[in-house]
A and B are shown apart, each in its own frame.
Chain A
């Protein structure tokens, strides 16, 4: 509290001091018979020199930052595609820096050089069609080159991948990432958000997961039966808002239940296999050097963005809308550690779309391995498929029985 008081007093005294200074300045100006709108040659020249000094200082500062933090500060690109975009980025940078130096220098130099001098009149020069034509056409040509090069690269980056690409899904939610490898068949199992249950967080679509979602919706901790029971219990009386909330909850769940029942009726059992062999990987994303990856993105709650800084790859994950990105890692984690001279370095997958309070902590370590090491790792994972992990026993008859009782009720 004392601190605040002192700060307040200092501010007030400062304002008073400033006011007094201004008063002194005004009185002296009156004595000198100068007026506020007349800029003296002294002021004019001083500011002109400061302008020149400023631009030189800015250029020096820029060069210092470049030397201190490197050309782009992010190290070499760690993917085949990233190398291509970095080349284009460097080209653009050279161009942009030239324009930046040239035009800023002219601006401040002219300010310095053509500051008012006694007896020199300004040059009346309203227009010159030829000059104007030059600085319309030259930028247009330069831009045409930039556009053509940029679009060529862009088309490569977004072109569809072929069969050689390994398919991975990145599932995002507040505030973590989960990876899903397509497994032996290199086909990602289908999903529907309504199938989300405790042992099916990624909402994969199989006969069993439909059944367990239906059973969960009906008999789960906050399932339909429980809400019905609450509402029908004559011993408790809810106030209006609680009762309305419960009813809204119930009708929403009944609607979801009907949709799940439809899904069950229309389900094609052949789809199960593609989901059963998927591998769900939570802590790290392991990739293979030199392999093209076709990555599908999915969001559970709000928009997230998968940002592979070192691979120069980024795409938003949007609730309700599938998105994709592709890249080919070209440097293993070990190689990058050597290049960065930091044995603790790791690639990361960051979230780069504001998604809530802990947005900044939402990330996943990415490890890129040589082919042999990758294959060895993958071999250990093959025993941890979705089926093995979450639906090991043939649980289908039990779930179906539950469903039958609820349906007949």
Chain B
């Protein structure tokens, strides 16, 4: 059996796999098995996500009840950062910054792409493992180290990075300007540097695996949409993360070596700096050259997962499979030529602004195609509303709701008055944050049986979904109105409006209370998920091999995990993954490894 199991393993693994008995360390810690690495990514990301969520509750308390004492704040932040239970201004910015950084990079990049690319690429392609198990392990451990560094930065004396998750210099370059730009920012930069290394190693591995290790019959046009999404995501990561690294390195040089890449003509803290000739805009260009593709690095995997979940649980093929691939590719390509829409009012040349308006609005076309294809997939389906399916539908809803406001923000003339207001915060939290989180939850509920061989509790899943959906809309929907009233983001206290416009101030404070209550409600709802997740790992009922009657290859592997994934020969693929409810078939699904029946046509 063992020799059969390793036939496709290639020569790069020889030696280490000949013994089946593995000790604790090589199985659970320094594992090179893609399934274990996927789970490691998931566990780390869930932990980071919980931290970032608690941070957000801390600053939401300040926003809803500015200046009022709260035991909760003192409990987490102590007397130093919340004297008498009132959050300090600097720490408010620190919380906002680290919340954003962890959510975008650690939860939604590392957690989403890291977990599901690792878990599903080999399983859905019919491969024994990733192209390089060792690099895969390295990718996780870099991710782990960068997570630790980011968490450590919360505890340094001068506070964590406080310049916003985009860390625009000069604020992030000058410790005199804000205390978080001292050691906290240094740790942020080191953490992100290691994170980028992790992401690059992982992405290269995913790309190589998708190109080289597809099983017999698995053409590119027979790959599940999940794999297409992970594949394009990995390409985006490889092309854009190095640019963020260069931006970060130049910033490190400005901070430590006295260079002037981003600094020019500055007097700060009474001190006249000699730096001259640098440009803060250079940083913004470099940052957003990653920053915008990053949005799709976060979103595409979620869309891929939801495509698979929706098709399976509608018992229908995904509508317009090729158009879906086309729109993933189009979105991936366009995401590289739109970064300037973050910079309409930064002093960038206005003509350049108009070019970015054009390219940005083009993205709406493939996005619209995706939405309509999802709708048509649901149309005349036979929907099974598993918790995963509900989350996937929730994703489509948030993708629409957050997407349409993007049409307004992409229009430079309209962006002038909305730039950096809560309207933007609402937009990207719904379209990127909520969609990706919903995709991730959907993925966890759907593939949990594959990851852990157990089932999650469905009832708790339902409760979790409803709390999360209501909480998410309750938090981010009113934010649009706060933004339209002109509330700038990253303000510590909106009662400053009271001096000049009491009506606006009242409205903002009222809505902020509503938002915070929904946020606390949604955060408490996540306890249900955490409980369900960990409880089911240990005590959940045993999962059947193919619980959702799905077509893709991962459901042909045994429930008990093993090296090499399939006990016998690798499966051979004969059809696309979406033969659900095909006329002429007795069952409403035909897995990919079933040969075409006589006279049957491929879709």
Contact = CB atoms under 8 A, between A and B. Distances in A.
Interface of A: 3-4, 15, 18-19, 22, 25-26, 35-37, 39, 43-44, 47-48, 50-51, 54-55, 58, 61-62, 65, 69, 72-74, 82, 85, 88-89, 92-93, 95-96, 99-100, 103-104, 106-108, 110-111, 114-117, 120-128, 131-132, 135-136, 139-140, 143, 146-147, 150-151, 153-155, 157-158, 173-174, 192-194, 196, 252, 255-256, 300-303, 305, 307, 309-310, 312-316, 318-321, 323, 340, 342, 344-348, 350-361, 363, 365
A358 B89 contact: yes
A301 B266 contact: yes
B265 A320 contact: yes
Nearest to B580: A122
B520 to A, nearest CB: 14
B390 interface: yes
14 contacts: A43-B385, A61-B477, A85-B417, A110-B378, A116-B383, A122-B581, A122-B588, A123-B316, A132-B373, A150-B414, A153-B413, A319-B263, A353-B420, A365-B500
B264 interface: yes
Given A22-B460, A72-B484, A114-B378, A157 B413 contact: yes
A318 B358 contact: no
Contacts, number: 383
A349 to B, nearest CB: 10
Contacts of A69: 481, 484-485, 507, 511
B270 to A, nearest CB: 9
B449 interface: yes
Interface centre among B171, B456, B478, B578 (most CB of A within 10 A): B171
Interface string B578-603: 10111100001000000000000001
Nearest to B398: A104
Given A73-B507, A320-B263, A312 B365 contact: no
Interface in B462-499: 462, 466, 469-470, 473, 477-478, 481, 484-486, 488, 490-494, 496, 499
Given A110-B375, A194-B272, A314-B416, A136 B369 contact: yes
A81 B64 CA distance: 34
B168 to A, nearest CB: 6
Interface stretch (B27-35, B213-221, B231-239, B317-325): B317-325
B590 to A, nearest CB: 11
A356 B492 CA distance: 11
Contact of B491 (A58, A93, A252, A360): A360
Given A126-B319, A354-B93, A307 B488 contact: yes
B380 interface: yes
Contact of A359 (B174, B449, B470, B490): B490
A126 B492 CA distance: 51
B267 A300 contact: yes
Given A73-B486, A127-B321, 6 more contacts: A43-B385, A154-B413, A155-B354, A320-B263, A320-B279, A363-B496
A340 B411 contact: no
B396 to A, nearest CB: 6
B267 A126 contact: no
Interface stretch (B3-11, B37-45, B146-154, B345-353): B345-353
Contacts of B347: 315-316, 318, 321, 323
Given A65-B478, A151-B354, A309-B417, A314 B345 contact: yes
Interface in B382-397: 382-386, 390, 393, 396-397
Given A62-B477, A124-B582, A357-B93, A107 B375 contact: yes
Interface of B: 71, 75, 88-90, 93, 163-164, 168, 170-171, 174, 177-178, 263-268, 272-274, 276-281, 314-317, 319-323, 345-347, 350, 353-354, 357-358, 361-362, 364-365, 368-369, 371-376, 378-386, 390, 393, 396-397, 400-401, 404-405, 407-408, 411-414, 416-417, 419-421, 449, 455-460, 462, 466, 469-470, 473, 477-478, 481, 484-486, 488, 490-494, 496, 499-504, 507, 511, 528, 531, 535, 540-541, 543-544, 547-548, 578, 580-583, 588, 603
A358 B413 CA distance: 29
A193 B170 CA distance: 16
B207 to A, nearest CB: 28
A344 B497 CA distance: 12
Nearest to B582: A124
A169 to B, nearest CB: 15
Contact of A47 (B390, B535, B547): B390
A310 B484 CA distance: 11
A143 B360 CA distance: 10
A310 B405 CA distance: 21
Contacts of B168: 303, 353-354
A76 to B, nearest CB: 13
Contacts of A320: 263-266, 276-280
Given A122-B380, A126-B317, A347 B500 contact: yes
